[in-house]
Amino acid sequence: MRAFSGFYAAILTGFADDGAFDERRQRAICAYVLRQHVDGLYVGGTTAEQALMQVAERESQLNVVFECACEKRLRLIAHVGAASLRSAEHLARAARAVGYTAVSALPPSEDHARGFPAVIGYYKALIQAAGLPMFVYHMPSRERRAFSFEETAALLELEGVAGIKFTCEDLYLFNRLRRAFPDRALLFGKDEIYASAALVGADGGIGSTYNLVAGLYREIHQRVAAGDVEAARRLQAVACDLVTCLLEAGLLPATKRVLGLRGVDAGPCRLPLALGDPAKVAALDRFVASGALDPYLP
C-alpha cells in the first residue's frame, strides 16, 4: 500500500448566519464526518469555499479541524493554495506548525503565473515553506489550468511531491500517470465515477460527498479490488444519483442541507453560494428520504 492511500473527506466550512467563520458549526461538521470510516481529511479546498475566505479565516479553520481530528490520528492534508504566493506560503507554514501531515494546492491561474515554469516555481516555493509532503492538484476547468501528461509528470517528479489530487474525467491521463508513477499516491476527486478510477489504479479518493457517505466509496473500491463488477456498478449508481441531486440543487449548499436533514447544524454557505431551484431541492430531499443512502450514513 502506498503512503497516503485511502479516503479523505474534503471537509466543508461552518459559517454563521451572517457569513462569518463559525467555530461551533465547524466542530459540528467535523464531528459528523469523523463518525465515518475515513483515513483523513482534506481541509481548506474548493469544497471548503476557500476562494470566498480570508487567509486568517482559513488559518482558523486549519486549527479548529486539527483540534477535532487529532485524537483520531488521521492524516490531515491542508489545501494552502491562494492567488498570492505570499498568502499560500503563510498557510503552508501554519499547517506545518499545527501538525498537518501534508499540504496541497491548486496551481496558480494563467492570469497570475504565465507559463508552466511559473507553476513549477509556485509548487517549489510551497514545498519549501511547508516542509511537508505536497499533493499537486489537477482540476481543469474554464478558470483553471489543464495539464498535459508531460506537465503533470514534471510536477509529480518534483522533490517533496507525494502524489496528486486528480479531479478530472480524463481516465486516459490518469492511467498513464498510474503506470508512470507507481510510487506516488493518486487520489481521485470525481465522486460520480470513482469506480472507473479504482479500476485503473486509484489509491483512494478525496471528495465532497465523503462528508455524507465516505463508506460508500470505500466499499466501491473494495468491490472493484475483489472483481465484483456488478456490485461496484450498483454502488457507483447510488453515488452518481447522489451527485446528480446535489449538483442540480446547488452542490455545496445542498450538501449542507443533507447534513441538516441528518441533524447537523452545518449552517449556510457563504454568499453568493445558495440553494438552487426549489423543485430540485425537493427532489434531493426525496432522494435522501428514499433510503438509498441509509446503509452508508453514519
The pLDDT, as a whole number, for residue 3 is 84
**What is the rounded distance in angstroms from the CA atom of residue 82 to the CA atom of residue 105?**
8
Q: Which residues contact 229 (CB under 8 A, 6 or more apart)?
A: 223
The pLDDT, as a whole number, for residue 198 is 98
- CA 41 to each of CA 9, 91, 111, 284: distance values in angstroms, whole numbers, following the listed order: 5, 16, 30, 25
**What is the rounded distance in angstroms from the CA atom of residue 7 to the CA atom of residue 194?**
11
The pLDDT, as a whole number, for residue 67 is 96
Q: Which residues contact 8 (CB under 8 A, 6 or more apart)?
A: 38, 39, 40, 41, 42, 75, 77, 187, 204, 205, 206, 207, 210
Counting Cβ atoms within 10 Å, is residue 16 exposed (0-12), middle (13-18) or buried (19+)? middle
The pLDDT, as a whole number, for residue 1 is 62
Which three cell numbers, joined as nine digits, stand for 1?
500500500
Give the catalytic positions in this structure. 137, 165
Give the length of the chain.
298
Question: Containing H/E element for 137?
Answer: strand 134-138
Kindly state which CATH superfamily the domain 6-226 is placed in.
Answer: Aldolase class I (3.20.20.70)
Q: Each residue's pLDDT tens digit in the chain (298 positions)?
A: 678 999 999 999 999 999 999 999 999 999 999 999 999 999 999 999 999 999 999 999 999 999 999 888 899 999 999 999 999 999 999 999 999 999 999 998 766 667 899 999 999 999 999 999 999 999 997 667 789 999 999 999 999 999 999 999 999 999 999 999 999 999 999 999 999 999 999 999 999 999 999 999 999 999 999 999 999 999 999 999 999 999 999 999 999 999 999 999 999 999 999 999 999 999 999 999 999 999 999 8
Asked whether the bond before 295 is cis by omega within 30 degrees of 0, the reply is no
User: Taking a C-beta distance cutoff of 8 angstroms, is the pair 159, 132 a contact?
Assistant: no
Domain ranges of the chain: 6-226
**What is the rounded distance in angstroms from the CA atom of residue 258 to the CA atom of residue 296?**
14
The pLDDT, as a whole number, for residue 143 is 67
